[in-house]
Structure 1
Amino acid sequence: MARPPRWQATLDASVEEACLAVRLYNDPAESRSFEGFVIHMHLAWLYLLHAEFIRDDVDYRYWDPKYKRRLLRVDGEPKRWELERCLRERWPDETDAVRANLGLFIRLRNRLEHRHAHADAALMVTLSGHGHALLLNYEQELTTQFGDDQSLALRLRVPLFVGTFSPQGEQALRRLRKSLPPDLHGFLTDYESGLGEGVAADPRYEFRLRATIELAPKDPDAVAVQFTRYDDMTEAERAAVEEMGRKGQVIVRDRKQPVSGLGRLMPKPAAAEVEAGIPFEFNIHHFVAAWKRGKVRPLYGDPHPDRTNSDFCEYDEPTKSYRYTRAYVSHLIKKCSTPEGFEAITGLTPRDKSLA
């Protein structure tokens, strides 16, 4: 049996933390369920990004600024990047909506751990859309980086829920939202005031859906819950939906049917994406040089064509061809963005695209 990749244990720990976070969020018996959700999603994101760094050979340890060859240590173990530092490495663009959403919860976690335990329910109502975005962003990052077989959809169940509330229940939720302590309300207002309008309205920052409840007759060919997509509605139906009050919330995630090679790239499209992300020319010749130099897959004619670096490449038996992962494209873009990195990866001298 093949030995699991170096990053597998870290990724497994990440998924376990995410599942625990969702369980706490959905458990009405937990008096501090939102606090638990925030803390465990923080750990899930931290371990997920660490797993990516391990896979991509990114050194995420802290080094002593006085002694360049000495690691900083905590209780004898190397000190590793905290989530804030990982965030800047993964999303350098400060205006990225995923970074903005995660940054909000990083700051919120510090407040929740030391005070405001009584504000848990009010925070859950106020930040439910942000929390849903946090989880959906995690799912997107998890499956994009490590494949659909890692999806939380294989581990989580759709929870039972109250489809709508009485007018009294709706008013109770509004009162609960208004009970948020003034300093927490100020914290949220200040944080969002620093975001661009496009980021604040981005569903990756705050996820909002409106569900319409319709009591339908029993139909043996129909499922119990049916969703109508906004894009499939007429203009009149959209206008009616937008006028409705908020009566409940449902998260919808598109279900992908099994597709061979889903999310994988053939060599030419992969090389084109790399070239689009770096300042140098990068064609199929460079791509072949890169996989040969990095031993990503066996050479042509090898008796064991399936012995690939599974993080970066998969062998397709029916077509006798190789398909490359998004993670490999990201790896090449990151490494080939500098002249030194380009030459180290391909063994070739880079040529600036502006000179072509």
Structure 2
Amino acid sequence: MTLRKGKTKSTLESSIESALLAVEIYNKPRTPFRVEGFITQMIMAWTRLFHAHFHNTIGNKYYYKNSNGRYQLIDGEKKSWELKTCITKHGKLPASVKSNLIFFIKLRNKIEHRHIDRDEIGVIIFGECQALLFNYENILINFFGEEYALNESLAFSLQFSRLRNKSQLLASKKLLSKEIKELKYFIETYRNSLSEDIFNTQEYSIKLVQVPKISNTNRNDLAIEFVNWNSVSESDKKSYDKVTAIIKDKVVKKEAINPGKRKPSDVISKVNSEIDFTINHYDHKCLYSCFKIRPSSSNDIDDPFDTNINYCHYDEVHNDYVYQDAWAELIIKGIKEKKLSKKIWKQKFKEKDVFDITNFQT
């Protein structure tokens, strides 16, 4: 499909430029905040790709409207559908591709106000990043044809082959900030929420095994060859499965459900056993809202996993929250030190104000 000049073509070209910039950022090892840069540019690339597709198929109809039928405006411009809405409106993406995109939408929202100056997150989500780019090109070709493929514009990124030893990994883990730990918890939780069928697809996360070519190599051969999975023999597939069983990066937990976690009633009972008055469930809601250890309401949030993992976790299976012992201890400590009282937290909750939790952790 050869597009003429117009909004579809300009939007598509802008999408492709964002994708190429994302790759350029990702492949420069000394680029500050390269993980955030890659994710941000790829979200823009995907959004503009959908906008170009919608403009080409349904015209100027990918904008939000108010109940009176008028367009919603931002700084005088019509508000277009964001990526999550585009995915829903399109409705035809494979589940694995959709899962990969939703992962990055949620991750982008989490890192938007964080400064990640380490490579740990980039290493952890390498497979998802590769899949995000490959999926983009596949959908791009599906929407507009082979002539818009990116493979002629991209180079394979050089990677250091020497793995960090155990002592280096342990030292690195000790340096991880609280924010990095929260992101790692989100990534692990999201992966474990996926079915095996989706997680194991290349569309969700590309898993690469690097095997040096050491024999029977023609001097004119390419240094890197990509093999179509469908052309691999059954015996080689079985061998590959044995390898991936060893290196697979998904964490599979085999443990008791929510060990060491408390229900709200357990937190209340624990606190009441240590103080000279009693609190109830409304008091507990005031407290977790004012300390922002979890979303205040399930009706006005987009991400239930947005919790302070030192005190609270979202239990997706039961669609509720469970609390650490540290949460009850923090409340007890605050009450005993006269920093907390019913009057104080009810007033804070009424005014939608928050406590600085660091003042209660010392």
Q: TM-score range by the shorter chain?
A: 0.5 to 0.7
1:123–1:177 contact (8 Å) kept in structure 2: no
- 1:54-203 maps to which residues of 2 (within 5 A)? 54-58=55-59, 59-65=61-67, 67-68=68-69, 70-91=70-91, 96-118=95-117, 120-162=118-160, 164-165=161-162, 168=165, 172=168, 176=172, 179=176, 181-203=180-202
Residues 217 and 122 of structure 1, relative CA distance in 2, 3 Å threshold: same
Q: Deviations over 1:309-338 (max 9, x none)?
A: xxxxxxxxxxxxxxxxxxxxxxxxxxxxxx
Q: Which runs of 5+ in 2 are unaligned?
A: 249-362
Q: How far 1:3 sits from its partner (Å)? A: 4.7
Match of 1:24 in 2: 25
Q: Deviations over 1:243-281 (max 9, x none)?
A: 48659xxxxxxxxxxxxxxxxxxxxxxxxxxxxxxxxxx
The residue type equivalent to 1:225 in the other structure is: I
**Cα distance in structure 1, aligned partners of 2:55 and 2:187:** 34
**Cα distance in structure 1, aligned partners of 2:136 and 2:185:** 27
2:33–2:115 contact (8 Å) kept in structure 1: no
Aligned to 1:20, the other structure's residue is in SS state helix
Residues 133 and 71 of structure 1, relative CA distance in 2, 3 Å threshold: same
Q: Deviations over 1:62-108 (max 9, x none)?
A: 1111x12x111111111111111111112367x81111110110111
Q: Deviations over 1:104-158 (max 9, x none)?
A: 101111111201523x411111100011110010000001110111011121123
Q: Tell me the TM-score normalised to structure 1 length.
A: 0.60
User: What is the identity percentage for the equivalent residue pairs of Structure 1 and Structure 2?
Assistant: 30
**Cα distance in structure 1, aligned partners of 2:226 and 2:209:** 11
Q: Deviations over 1:23-55 (max 9, x none)?
A: 111101113111100000000001000000000
2:121–2:184 contact (8 Å) kept in structure 1: no
CA RMSD of aligned residues (A): 3.1
The residue type equivalent to 2:207 in the other structure is: R
The residue type equivalent to 2:110 in the other structure is: R
Residues 80 and 210 of structure 1, relative CA distance in 2, 3 Å threshold: same
Residues 107 and 48 of structure 1, relative CA distance in 2, 3 Å threshold: same
Q: Which runs of 5+ in 1 are unaligned?
A: 248-356
1:125–1:177 contact (8 Å) kept in structure 2: no
Greater mean deviation of Cα atoms: 28-37 or 151-160: 151-160
The residue type equivalent to 2:104 in the other structure is: F
**Cα distance in structure 2, aligned partners of 1:193 and 1:141:** 26
The residue type equivalent to 1:25 in the other structure is: Y
The residue type equivalent to 2:208 in the other structure is: L
**Cα distance in structure 2, aligned partners of 1:167 and 1:90:** 43
**Cα distance in structure 1, aligned partners of 2:119 and 2:237:** 33
Q: Tell me the TM-score normalised to structure 2 length.
A: 0.59
Aligned to 2:21, the other structure's residue is in SS state helix
Number of residues of Structure 1 aligned to a counterpart in Structure 2: 240
